[in-house]
């Protein structure tokens, strides 16, 4: 088991049902937590599983306006440029950039509790003790493959290994809070048909327990 403390000024765990204006979930999603751990340490011979997310700060929202583009460069234009070289690949800022409101979380603070399993791609010399020791060393050194972030790259994560002992969730989160359906992860078992997975998220005394979740498509 690994416990990682993460914090940041802002976070945006976008609800997929909000198409234009970005609105964050109340707490970090399991897929975002997995992404943070994989940014710190990933190996083809292991697979991270998030067990619990502890919320150490009150849930606070703030609204900001950000510059975004209307749409990315189309795949058709890229293919044309690759085959003929006669297509310009650029976005015109005056035409494509728009301002959109985003409802963000601010002053976020979590502890991610997770474990990993060996995958079929593990080498004969790989073992859980080896991976756990590497992860602990990287946490102590602050090492990562790329900067982990809270939903969007402009919201970087500060991380360290949890020192141990009881994890004090915020008093304002006492009791049970139903967060509704939340994105759990993406199912990549069929690369031609990647499907989202959802679960019913319930925050109990500031803890999102994922060990007994029931996943829906």
| Residue range 55-72, pLDDT digits in tens | 999 999 999 988 877 777
CA atoms within 13 A on the CB side of 2: 32
Residue 139: enclosing H or E segment and its boundaries?
helix 128-141
Residue 37: enclosing H or E segment and its boundaries?
helix 30-40
- In this structure, is residue 15 part of a structural domain? yes
- In this structure, is residue 125 part of a structural domain? yes
Segment 137-141 long-range contacts (CB within 8 Å, at least 24 positions apart): 138/40, 138/41, 139/4, 139/40
To which residue do tokens 């007994």 refer?
A: 212
* Separation of alpha carbons 146 and 48, rounded Å: 17
- In this structure, is residue 25 part of a structural domain? yes
- In this structure, is residue 179 part of a structural domain? yes
Where would I find the H helices in 66-127? 75-83, 93-96
Q: Residue 144: what pLDDT?
A: 96
| Burial bucket for residue 73 (CB in 10 Å: 0-12, 13-18, 19+) | middle
- In this structure, is residue 92 part of a structural domain? no
For residue 13, what are the domain limits?
2-65+101-216
Answer whether residue 154 shows pLDDT above 90: yes
Domain count along the chain: 1
8 Å CB contact between 33 and 209 = no
CATH number, domain containing residue 170: 3.30.70.2660
3-state secondary structure of 213: coil
- In this structure, is residue 187 part of a structural domain? yes
8 Å CB contact between 196 and 15 = no
| pTM (predicted TM-score) | 0.88
Non-local CB neighbours of 81 within 8 Å, separated by 6+ positions: 87, 88, 89
Answer whether residue 76 shows pLDDT above 90: no
- Per-residue pLDDT, averaged over 179-203, amounts to 91
* Separation of alpha carbons 161 and 34, rounded Å: 15
pLDDT tens for 101-147 read: 899 999 999 999 999 999 888 888 888 999 999 999 999 999 999 99
- In this structure, is residue 177 part of a structural domain? yes
* Separation of alpha carbons 49 and 20, rounded Å: 31
- In this structure, is residue 146 part of a structural domain? yes
Answer whether residue 181 shows pLDDT above 80: yes
Q: Residue 83: what pLDDT?
A: 83
Cα 3 to Cα 84, 140, 161, 181: the distances in Å are: 51, 12, 6, 25
């Amino acid at each position: 088991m690994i416990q990682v403390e993460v914090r940041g000024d802002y976070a945006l765990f976008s609800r997929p049902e909000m198409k234009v204006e970005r609105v964050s979930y109340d707490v970090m999603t399991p897929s975002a937590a997995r992404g943070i751990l994989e940014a710190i340490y990933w190996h083809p011979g292991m697979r991270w599983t998030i067990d619990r997310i502890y919320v150490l700060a009150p849930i606070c929202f703030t609204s900001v306006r950000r510059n975004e583009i209307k749409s990315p460069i189309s795949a058709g234009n890229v293919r044309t440029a690759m085959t003929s070289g006669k297509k310009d690949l650029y976005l015109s800022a005056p035409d494509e950039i728009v301002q959109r409101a985003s409802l963000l979380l601010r002053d976020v603070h979590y502890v991610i509790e997770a474990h990993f399993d060996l995958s079929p791609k593990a080498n004969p010399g790989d073992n859980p003790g080896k991976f756990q020791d590497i992860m602990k060393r990287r946490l102590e050194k602050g090492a990562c493959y790329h900067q982990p972030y809270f939903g969007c790259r402009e919201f970087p994560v500060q991380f360290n290994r949890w020192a141990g002992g009881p994890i004090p969730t915020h008093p304002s989160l006492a009791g049970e809070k139903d967060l509704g359906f939340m994105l759990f992860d993406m199912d990549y078992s069929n690369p031609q048909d990647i499907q989202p997975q959802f679960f019913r998220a319930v925050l109990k005394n500031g803890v999102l327990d994922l060990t007994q979740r029931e996943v829906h498509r």
